[in-house]
Chain A
Amino acid sequence: MAKLTINGREVEAPDGAPLVEVIKNAGIFISNLCYVDGLPPYAGCRTCVVEIEGMRGVQLACTTRVADGMVVRTDGEEAKRMRQAALSLIMSYHSDRCLTCHRIVKCKPGDTCLRDGVVTHRCLTCSKNYRCELQTTCEMLEMAGYEPWEGEERTYYTTPQPEPDRANPFLEFDPQMCIICTRCVRVCDEVRHTGAITLAGRFNPRIEFGAGGPVHESNCDFCGSCIDVCPTATLMEHPNKWAAMQTERWVPTACTWCSVGCSIFLGIKGGRGVIVKPDTAGNPFSRDQLCVRGRFHYDFVRPHQRLQRPLLLRDGARQEVSWEEALEYAASRLAEIREAHGPQAIGFLGSPLMTNEENYLLAKLARAVVGSPNLDSTAGPVARAALEAVREAFGTPVLPADLTRVPKARTLLVVAEDLESSHNVASVRVKDAVIREGARLIVVSPRYGELCDFATVWLQPRPGQEAAVLVSLLRSLARDGGAAPGLPEALPDPEPEGVEAGELARAADILREAVRDQSWRPLAFVYALPYLAPEHVRATAAALCGLAVLCLGDEAPSCLYVLPQEANVWGMLDVGVAPDLLPGYREAGSPADQGDMERLWGTPVAGGPGSDVWHMLQDAGGRLRALVVMGDNPLFFLPDRQRVEEALARLEFLCVIDSLDTATARLAHLVLPDSGPYSKEGTTTSADRRVLRLHVAASPAGESRPAWAILRDLSLRLAQRLGLGEVRLNYARVAEVMDELAEVVTLYRHARYQELDNGSQQSWDGLSPRAARVPTLRLPANGHGDGHLLLTSRGLYTSYEAAALGLEDADRLHREESLEMNPADAAALGIGPGDLVRVANDRGELVLPAKLTYGAAQGTVHLPLHYRGGAALSLFGPGEPAASVRLSRA
C-alpha cells in the first residue's frame, strides 16, 4: 500500500495503481475523457493533468502510477488552465454551443438558440443531455465562456457531418458527436474481445464498425459495453433512448436469461423499464459486462402484451374473471380431482425461469398440501442427469466451483454447443483467460461458436458424440499410468466420429501438460448443458467428471463448472422441484428424509418418488388428471411436440401460472397471470450458486400478481377445503418464504434477504464434496438413421418471452432465422445462400432460408432453438441430441 496526499488529503492506495483511478476512488473529480478503468492508458485527451510535487510541469494522471509519499494537486491553476485548453480542443470538433453557454440552465429543448441560428445539434436537443460525461466535464472545468476561438470560423459547423446509423434495433451510432477518445474501440477489443470497432483513417480519424459499413453488418454482438463507456451521445441504446433521459430510479436486480446471472440496474420511468446498466459492484463475475439479452430483452415484451387478468375457459371460450373466482375455481377443481382420483392424479411443473421462493412454494403445494410427488419441470431431466454424474463422482450434487476463477485459468476445456450464445458473459471470461493469461483452450462442440476462434484445439464431433470425445481423452491420459478411484481397468475406446486423431492427441497433450506443469494451471472444465437428451448429458457429465478427477484428484470439484441453460435450474432443484428429490436434496423415498420434511412442515408429506415430466405426460388423461404449470412451457421446451400437445389436451384440468400467453397457456382451462421477472421480488441461484436478488422494478401488468402470492392464495384455499390445519401457508411478504426456506434447505441457511443484502451467500454445510472418483462411464448408442442431423441450441439474440408469444420480431436482428448448413452439403443439394430449404422427417417439416457456413460440419445442419416458438423441437424425438432430417430445396 502507498500513502499519498491528494489536495492535502491523505489517501491510501495499492502501490502502482493508476493515479487517475485513485483520485476518482477518493471521491475527487478529475476529468479523464479517454481513460477506461482497468485498461492501459491511452493518453489521448490530455484532460487528466495534475501537478505532482517534485516533478516538473504537469503530469497525466492516467499514465502516472502512485507511489508512497506522492503529493498530488488537482486544483492548481496551471493544471486547470491546461485542462481547459485540452478540453477546448476537443470541443472544437464537437457541438459545443451549449457547453460554453451561461444560459443552459434556462434553455428548453424547444427554444431557439440565442447564440447561433444553425445549431441543431446541441445539448438541449441531445438524448444524452444531463447524463453526459463530456457535458459534466465541461461544467466541472468551468468552460462556460471559455472560447479561445471566438470569431474564428469553426470547421465543425461548416463541414458536412456524417449521417447517424440507426439501422439496427439496439445501438445508435451518431459519428457527428464523437470526440475520438477511442474508449469504445478499446473496450470492444480488450474487454469484450470482439473487435467490432476500429479507428479508421489517418488524416481524418473516425470511428467505424466492421469493414466500414453499418453496425449490424459488423461482428458487433450488441453487448452495449461501448455505450457504457462512450462519454458523448455517439453510442446510445436505441430502445427508449429519449425516455431513459427521465429515468426516475434505478432498481438493482438480476438478468434471468441464462444461468450466468448477471447483475443489472433497471432504470424505471413511469413504472416501466427504460434502460439497463450493469451493476458493476454487485456481481464479482459479470462486473461491468452484460450481453444483448441482459441489456435489451427487458424491452421485447411490453406490459400490455403480458397477461393482465385471470382467464377461464368456459364453453370453449376464454373469459376474463376476477381473482376471487379464478382462485376458487382452481381450488375447487383440484379438490374435486383429488377426491375422485387421489392426490397422485395431480401433477406439477415448476420452472427455472421462476424464483427459488416460487419453486419452493410449488413443491410445498404438491407434496404437503395436495400430497402428490408428481413434480418436475421440462428443464428437470437434463439437469438431473448431469447431477447424477456429479453426485456419483463427488458424493454431492452441489459443486463448489466459483466462476470468478475462470478468467484466471491457464488451461480450459469447454464442452458446449455454442457458449458465446448460450452463456455469453461466461464466454467473455473464458476469452479473458485466453487473451490475458495466455491460457490454452480446448473446445468440444459439434458446431462453430465464436469461442472456437479462441481455441487452441477445437474438437468437432458429430452431434451426440461429445461423451465419446471426453472418454477418448480420458483413455489417453490414463495410458500414462494416471490413477484415480473408480477408474475402470478397461476403458471404452469410442473413436468419436468427425474428430481427427491428431487433434485429439493435441488436446490430450494440453491436458497432460496442465497436470504435469504447475504453470499451466489452474485448470477449468466447463460444461454448458444442452436442452436435450438426458442420457447423453449424463454420459458427457460423467466423462467430464472423470477427466477432472484424473487430472486434479480431490481438487476436481472446485474446477468443474456445470452451467445449466436457464437462469434458476440449480435453485429449482435445491428447493425440491423434482420427482425424486425433497427440498435440500433430501431423497424422495427415504423414510428418514420424509420424516425430516414432515417435522419441518408440520404435516404429512408425500415423500415417495413421483413421475417425471415425461411420465406425467404419458399418464395424462389416465392416472394423471390435472396439471399445474408454473412458468414452464412444455410446448416450447419439449421435443416430440405432437405427443406433448395431445397429452396436454387429455387433461381434465390444466392450470397455468405465467406472465405470458404461451402455447401451453393457450391450452389451459385456467390461466393465472404472474407478474413476470421484472416485477417481482425473490431470488434465483446462478450456475456457480450465487443467490441473486430480484427486486420489483417495473409495475406489474394489469391485475397480475407474483407467482409466489398466487401459490400462497391457492394453497390456502386448497388447504381449507382439504381441512389441513398445521401447515404454514400464509406469508405476508416473500421474505418470509425465504426465512422458511433458510430453515428447510441448509444451502440457503444464510440467504435470508437481510443477510443477502449484506453479501452473504450459499453455505454448503453437509453438501460439500465427499469424494472424487471417476463415475460409471456409459456411452449411449447413436442410433441415427440416414440423412442429415439437425442440431438445435440457444441463440444469442432471440428473446424467449417474445418467442413464447410468437411475436414476429422475437429476433429483432433477424440473425437467427435461417438454417445453418455446410456449403458442400448445400452445393450437393443445389442450394444457394438464402434459398429456401425444406427440413423434414416423419414428425413434420419446416421451410426456411439457408445460411451457408463452414461452422456446420458436413452432414449436420443447425437451427436456433427459439426460432418460431421452438419450432425445431417439433422434429425431435424424446432423448435425441439431434434429429435425422431430409433436406431439399423448397
Chain B
Amino acid sequence: MGLTSRHSSRFTPIDFIADDTGLVARVQALLDDVEPDRAQMLEALHRIQHELGYVPKEAIPFLAAKFKTTPAMIYGVLTFYSEIRTEPPPRVEVQWCSGPACLLKGSRNIRLALEAEFGCGMNESAPDGALGLRLVQCDGTCHLAPLVRLNGRYIGPLTVTDAIQLARRLKEEARRA
C-alpha cells in the first residue's frame, strides 16, 4: 500500500496537541534525531516502544509528520507488526500460542476461555490494565501443546478447566496486589 506523500518541510503536526501527561514531549524527544526517511520508520517505532513500552496513540500524528504521511498510514504500519504494541503492556500478560500444534489440540477453546475470564480480546488488556492477552507464534515447544506462556514459563498441556483456573488465580493475585 502506497503511503500518501506529503512534501512539507515541517516535521511536527500542524495542530497543537495538548500534553497533559508529558507523553507528547517524550515522544518528540525520541523522534528528534530520527531521519525523516521512510526506511527509518520501523526503527522509530521500536525506539518509542523500547522507551515507553508501547507506541501511544499520541505518537501517531508526530510519526505522520516526521515521515510525511497521514495518521491512517502510520496506523496501518503500526498494526501490521504484531510486535508493536499500541497500548501500555499489562502488568501480567498471558501469551497464547497461535501455532498449528496448539490449534489442533484445541487452543481455540483455551483462547475463548481466557478472553471470557479476563474480559478482553486478544492483544488487549483488561479494563484495569492489570491483565492482558497476547498472541504469539510457535517457538518449538509443541510437546506442551496446547500451551500459554507466562513470565517466560511454559504452562501446558492445558485443558479448558486448567485455563479457567489459571485465569482466576491470576485475577485474584492482581486484585490483592
Seen from chain A, the residues whose Cβ lies within 8 Å of a Cβ on chain B are 182, 185-186, 189-190, 193-203, 208-212, 218-219, 434-435, 441, 448, 452-456, 458, 823, 826, 832-833, 851-855
Contact = CB atoms under 8 A, between A and B. Distances in A.
Majority SS of interface residues in chain B? Answer: loop
A208 B4 contact: no
Given A193-B4, A458-B8, A218 B71 contact: yes
A197 B3 CA distance: 11
A203 B57 CA distance: 21
5 contacts: A186-B1, A189-B3, A195-B70, A201-B80, A210-B75
A194 B2 CA distance: 12
Given A208-B75, A218-B71, A452-B8, A198 B1 contact: yes
B7 A211 contact: no
A212 B75 contact: yes
A669 to B, nearest CB: 47
Contact of A854 (B14, B76, B86): B14
Contacts of B38: none
Given A452-B8, A854-B15, A218 B82 contact: no
A194 B76 contact: no
B82 A189 contact: no
Interface of B: 1-10, 12, 14-16, 18, 57, 60-61, 69-76, 79-82, 86, 135
Given A441-B7, A454-B6, A197 B72 contact: yes
Contacts of B71: 210-211, 218-219
Contact of A448 (B7, B14, B60, B80): B14
B14 A189 contact: no
- Return the 5 tightest CB-CB contacts between A and B, nearest first: A195-B4, A198-B76, A852-B16, A195-B70, A200-B79
Given A200-B76, A218-B72, A219-B71, A453 B7 contact: yes
A202 B80 contact: yes
Nearest to A40: B2
A120 B12 CA distance: 46
Given A200-B76, A218-B71, A453-B8, A854 B1 contact: no
Among the interface residues B18, B57, B73, B79, which one has the most CB atoms of the partner chain A within 10 A?
A: B79
Contacts of A189: 1-4, 73
Given A200-B75, A833-B16, A854-B10, 17 more contacts: A185-B1, A189-B73, A190-B2, A195-B4, A198-B72, A200-B76, A203-B82, A210-B72, A211-B71, A219-B71, A441-B7, A453-B7, A454-B8, A455-B8, A826-B16, A853-B16, A855-B15
Q: Which of B60, B71, B73, B74 has the most CB of A within 10 A?
A: B71
B79 A202 contact: yes
Contacts of A201: 79-80
Contacts of B72: 195-198, 208-211, 218-219
Contacts of B8: 452-455, 458
Contact of B70 (A196, A452, A852): A196
A195 B4 CA distance: 6
A182 B70 contact: no
A854 B16 contact: yes
A199 B2 CA distance: 11
Given A196-B72, A202-B82, A182 B16 contact: no
B6 to A, nearest CB: 4
Contact of B74 (A190, A211, A434, A826): A211
Contacts of A441: 7
Contacts of A209: 72
A826 B16 CA distance: 11
Contact of B14 (A208, A210, A853): A853
A199 B76 contact: yes
B12 to A, nearest CB: 8
Contacts of A458: 8-9
Contact of A194 (B4, B15, B61): B4
Given A210-B75, A212-B75, A219-B71, A455 B3 contact: no
Given A200-B76, A203-B82, A853-B16, A211 B57 contact: yes
A441 B72 CA distance: 24
A453 B76 contact: no
B75 A195 contact: no
A531 B8 CA distance: 27
A195 B7 contact: no
A20 to B, nearest CB: 20
A470 B5 CA distance: 27
Given A198-B72, A209-B72, A456 B4 contact: no
A434 B7 contact: yes
A201 B70 CA distance: 17
A434 to B, nearest CB: 7
A852 B15 contact: yes
Contacts of B75: 198, 200, 208, 210-212
B7 A455 contact: yes
Nearest to A209: B72
B125 to A, nearest CB: 16
Nearest to B79: A200
A883 to B, nearest CB: 23
Contacts of B2: 186, 189-190
Contacts of A208: 72, 75-76, 79
Nearest to B59: A211
Nearest to B121: A160
Contacts of A854: 10, 12, 14-16
Nearest to A200: B79
B69 A195 contact: yes
A264 to B, nearest CB: 26
Contacts of B3: 189, 195
Nearest to B81: A202
A620 B5 CA distance: 54
A211 B60 contact: yes
Nearest to B68: A453
B48 to A, nearest CB: 14
A669 B156 CA distance: 88
Contact of A219 (B18, B70, B79): B70
B73 A195 contact: yes
Contacts of A199: 1, 76
A230 B144 CA distance: 46
A810 to B, nearest CB: 23
Nearest to A822: B16
B132 to A, nearest CB: 17
B57 A853 contact: no
Contacts of A198: 1, 72-73, 75-76
A203 B73 CA distance: 17
Contacts of B14: 448, 453, 853-855
A823 B16 contact: yes
A769 B69 CA distance: 42
A718 B17 CA distance: 62
A434 B86 CA distance: 33
A448 B5 CA distance: 17
A834 to B, nearest CB: 9
A344 to B, nearest CB: 52
B76 to A, nearest CB: 3
A833 B18 contact: yes
Nearest to B16: A852
A195 B82 CA distance: 22
Contacts of A852: 15-16
A452 B13 CA distance: 12
A753 to B, nearest CB: 42
A454 B76 contact: no
Contacts of A182: 1
B7 A454 contact: yes
B17 to A, nearest CB: 9
